[in-house]
Amino acid sequence: MTATDIVQKLWNLCDVLRDDGINYSDYVTELVLLLFLKMEHENRDAGVMNHHPLPEGCRWPDIASKSGISLMTHYRQTLLDLSKSDDPLIAAIYADAQTRMREPRHLEQLIRALDQIDWFSAREDGLGDLYEGLLEKNASETKSGAGQYFTPRPLINCMVRCMNPRPGEIVQDPAAGTAGFLIAADRHIKDATEELFLLTLEQQEYQRRRAFTGIELVPGTRRLALMNCLLHNMEGDAEGVVHLGNALGQAGASLPKADLILANPPFGTSKGGEASITRDDLTFRTSNKQLAFLQHIYRGLKPGGRAAVVLPDNVLFEAGAGTDIRRDLMEKCTLHTLLRLPTGIFYAHGVKTNVLFFTRGTEENPRQEEGCTKKVWVYDLRTNMPAFGKRTPFGETQLAPFETVYAMQPRREGEWSFGAKEAEATENGINEGVDQDLRTSRWRSFDREWIREKKGDSLDITWLKDSDSVDAENLPDPEVLAAEAMAELTEALRELDGLMEALGKGDEAAVQKKLLAEVLGMGGV
């Protein structure tokens, strides 16, 4: 039985939860509370070293041996006892955990089903990878809403390979979600060191406990992240690998400087506007969460530190504080690469996204604070690409050409994958004086001076023309189109609100927002 088969079997158990009245969005949280007990037991049974054993009375056999009301009572008490465990990591995983199941027969059905799974095959593939597969399955189901924090695995792996994390480095993710970036970085290092065997005992201990740190704002998501890390033998400090908190507040300000930051900050405007971004060390005030996260990331790097961060299009062109932040980034860091991603690769959103790759300072002088960016290389993986989604999955194949040119030394323009050579070039001034062949290359470079003078420090750089004709068969799903339209409308309204504030018309803007809220049935703001 393959890992995919096992993940599907686990997902099918959600039918049992639905029969018990559990909401779609709570399926995985409910299931993993039980699943973690089973996986801990399987590791123990296989003789896998476990630094965080569950206490007697709270283990899988203790639950599996009961039935009826006795089972439900014991399970609820187990969750309570684990939340009060002497082991701070176990206590963090089960903090405030409680089951919403009401029928003992449904709980018993889940336990019997989990006992019947081929756990020998599951251990061969790795229980951590199996757990991640379940999270990915959950994210792909749009009803669950989990796609808001799940970054597609092929993109994570691509970013990690490009950044090449090394033993001894401090690796962070200030918007950790379920810890996908941190786990992929750990796997990259383990693959390069024969599961850490090539490192000294002291170095191995460092990798397990101190190398990786994430911050997650949502307690339920952090629970999933802590389980995920522990199943991948990543322990972290006393709070675990992923800490609970707000990276745009004190939790983020207290992080040590990092060698490497990998992140996909949450999309959208910060609830409460600037007031909820409580950092006083961020120079440029903004209610845009992504712009605030971008400031946190480049300011949180050590001299010579590296970052790869997923950001929506508005970060590339937003005026005001957006321009100031991009300018500051290019002054203090070498912004060397920008990857324009296709639409539809994030399950819950139709937003257009990019990956920014940058290094603090310059290669010659990591402590340089001015004029670091000399040239930005842009790879357009969006224009004339399919609308990715369930029917057209996004994977390693689409990212392979980018990885090839990213690693090229020295870099040179020219890459025509996915029919780019047959594309038309835009006539917006970008292609003036450019070799005819390179006008349709997906891989181009732009001098810092050109970005300043011709683009006003906007990084929204496009030179390929989208095909006018679109095959109706290849259109995105209606919910993706609607989400994309809604995202663009929301962004436009947010920018208009900011303009009204800047013009001293905040009161008028407040009246309009109230009217809009009433129209949308939100009962005011």
The larger pLDDT score, comparing residue 492 to residue 465, is at: 465
Whole-angstrom distance, CA of residue 315 vs CA of residue 343 = 16
Question: What would the mean pLDDT of 92-102 be, rounded to a whole number?
Answer: 90
pLDDT score recorded for residue 209: 94
Tens of pLDDT, residue by residue over 510-525, are 777 776 766 565 554 4
Whether pLDDT at 272 is above 70: no
* 345 exposure class (CB count in 10 Å sphere: 0-12, 13-18, 19+): buried
pLDDT score recorded for residue 470: 46
Whole-angstrom distance, CA of residue 308 vs CA of residue 302 = 14
Q: Taking a C-beta distance cutoff of 8 angstroms, is the pair 93, 82 a contact?
A: yes
Q: How far is CA 416 from CA 179, 400, 413, 441, 444, in A?
A: 34, 12, 10, 5, 11
Q: For the stretch 194-207, what's the b/e string if a residue is b when 16 or more beta carbons lie within 10 angstroms of its beta carbon?
A: eebeebeeeebebb
CA angle 397, 399, 405 (to 5 degrees): 120
pLDDT score recorded for residue 64: 93
Q: Closest by alpha carbon to 213, among 250, 185, 193, 248?
A: 185
The larger pLDDT score, comparing residue 119 to residue 211, is at: 211
Whether pLDDT at 480 is above 70: no
> Is 237 in a helix, a strand, or coil?
strand
Whether pLDDT at 320 is above 90: yes
Q: Taking a C-beta distance cutoff of 8 angstroms, is the pair 171, 262 a contact?
A: yes
DSSP string, 447-479: EHHHHHHHHTT------EEPPS---GGGSPPHH
pLDDT score recorded for residue 498: 66
Task: Report the 3 state secondary structure along 126-156.
Answer: CHHHHHHHHHHHHHHCHHHCHHHCCCCHHHH
Whether pLDDT at 107 is above 60: yes
Long-range contact pairs involving 132-137 (C-beta distance under 8 Å, separation at least 24): 132/178, 132/180, 132/183, 132/228, 133/3, 133/4, 133/6, 133/7, 134/7, 134/10, 134/11, 134/28, 134/31, 134/32, 134/35, 135/28, 135/178, 135/224, 135/228, 137/7, 137/8, 137/10, 137/11
pLDDT score recorded for residue 473: 47
Whether pLDDT at 420 is above 80: yes
Q: How far is CA 59 from the centre of its chain?
A: 32
CA angle 267, 240, 61 (to 5 degrees): 110
Tens of pLDDT, residue by residue over 63-78, are 999 999 999 999 999 9
CA dihedral sign of residues 474, 476, 481, 484: negative
Could you tell me the two tokens for 150?
A: 């799940």
Whole-angstrom distance, CA of residue 437 vs CA of residue 417 = 13
Q: Going by C-beta distance under 8 Å and a sequence separation of 6 or more, which residues neighbour residue 339? A: 354, 355, 357, 378, 379, 381, 402
At residue 372 the predicted structure's pLDDT band, cuts being 50, 70 and 90, is very high
pTM: 0.84
At residue 275 the predicted structure's pLDDT band, cuts being 50, 70 and 90, is very low
Torsion of CA 127, 132, 138, 139, to 10 degrees: 180
Whether pLDDT at 247 is above 70: yes
Whole-angstrom distance, CA of residue 69 vs CA of residue 75 = 10
DSSP string, 301-370: EEEEEEEEEEEETHHHH--THHHHHHHHHHHHEEEEEEEEPPTT-STT----EEEEEEEES-SS-TT--S
* 218 exposure class (CB count in 10 Å sphere: 0-12, 13-18, 19+): middle
The larger pLDDT score, comparing residue 508 to residue 104, is at: 104
Window from 304-308, 427-431, 446-450, 465-469 with minimum mean pLDDT: 465-469
Q: For the stretch 420-447, what's the b/e string if a residue is b when 16 or more beta carbons lie within 10 angstroms of its beta carbon?
A: beebebeeeebbeeeeeebbbbbbbbbe
